[in-house]
């Protein structure tokens, strides 16, 4: 059996998340509060929703809850996972789990990432359901939507597009002619798109002050859908800001491991649902006789 821990990103957050964890790990909660300058427990448990949904706060809260969930899972099971992966922000929890950095360092990185992304300018995102990513690209190219990027490749027929608000509104109209399932996301930025280039440049400068430890557990990268090399941690974290989240390919890679068993750690079960879709879309293996 291959035990795989996966960690959700922004969008899975909700008021009340982490309620069962904060009392169990007060030392880590105190460390988080010292870094952030506010009570992360209060933010997660009481919100308000508008503040918790602000990128600058969401990402920090999701990292803390994800990291505490991982520590709790390992303590309860007594077993480290064989692989870890995270969706967008969740990749930082995966890297913490793999030993790239300690809890506090990870939170420092996430806080700077969140601030850089929030200040990169207005943007919008929309989820397109019911058609493939290739079809999404074909429609955008054919009908002239040059400012729109594919941001998340979540499942065989779930793709997220990202770009300036007006461009996404136009893209939603174009894509809506092909499928009625085009859903705007509650975000304030065009994440995982070229719009994040200023944030990526700022974050790259910030990362120059950090050194990352060798990974003790393979971490599957959003940007490459393959495990990190120890020499490329900083580069892949910068690249992730402007590159699509290749979640479908990442899960397919993990499904190719012997007897994979996934555990989603953190708020919700969004990734569990996506993994089920990806698994169902794989061609059935057939025996070949000689």
Q: Known catalytic residues?
A: 88, 192
Beta strands in the chain (DSSP E): 2-7, 83-86, 124-129, 149-155, 158-163, 182-184, 219-220, 260-264
Buried b (16+ CB within 10 A) or exposed e, 197-215: eebbebbbebbeeeebeeb
Q: Considering only CA atoms, which of 26, 185, 207, 179 is closest in space to residue 100?
A: 207
DSSP class per residue in 194-238: GGGHHHHHHHHHHHTT---PPPSS-EE-TTTSSBPPGGGHHHHHH
Q: Which residue has the tokens 């969740």?
A: 90
CB 107 within 8 A of CB 35: yes
> In this structure, how many other beta carbons lie within 10 angstroms of the beta carbon of residue 236?
18
Q: Which residue has the tokens 């994040």?
A: 196
Q: What CA–CA distance (Å, rounded) separates 27 from 121?
A: 36
Q: What is the DSSP letter of 284?
A: P
Q: What CA–CA distance (Å, rounded) separates 34 from 104?
A: 9
């Amino acid at each position: 059996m291959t035990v795989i821990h996966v960690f959700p990103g922004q969008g899975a957050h909700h008021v009340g998340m982490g309620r069962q964890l904060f009392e169990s790990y007060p030392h880590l909660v105190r460390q988080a509060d010292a870094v952030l300058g506010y009570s992360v427990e209060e933010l997660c448990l009481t919100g308000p929703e508008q503040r918790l949904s602000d990128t600058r706060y969401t990402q920090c809260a999701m990292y803390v809850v994800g990291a505490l969930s991982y520590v709790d899972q390992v303590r309860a099971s007594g077993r480290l996972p064989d692989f870890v992966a995270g969706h967008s922000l969740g990749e930082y929890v995966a890297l913490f789990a793999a030993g790239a950095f300690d809890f506090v360092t990870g939170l420092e990185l996430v806080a700077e990432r969140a601030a850089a992304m929030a200040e990169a300018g207005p943007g919008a995102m929309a989820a397109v359901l019911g058609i493939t990513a290739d079809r999404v690209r074909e429609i955008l190219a054919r009908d002239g939507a040059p400012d729109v990027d594919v941001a998340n490749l979540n499942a065989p027929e779930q793709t997220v597009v990202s770009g300036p608000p007006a461009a996404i509104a136009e893209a939603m109209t174009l894509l809506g002619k092909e499928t009625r399932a085009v859903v705007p996301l509650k975000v304030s930025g065009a994440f995982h798109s070229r719009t994040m280039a200023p944030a990526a440049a700022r974050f790259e400068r910030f990362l120059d002050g950090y050194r990352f430890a060798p990974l003790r557990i393979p971490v599957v990268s959003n940007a490459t859908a393959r495990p990190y090399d120890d020499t490329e941690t900083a580069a892949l974290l910068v690249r992730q800001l402007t590159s699509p989240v290749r979640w479908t390919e990442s899960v397919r890679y993990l499904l190719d491991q012997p007897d994979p068993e996934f555990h989603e750690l953190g708020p919700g079960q969004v990734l569990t649902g996506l993994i089920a879709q990806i698994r169902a879309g794989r061609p059935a293996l057939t025996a070949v006789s000689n």
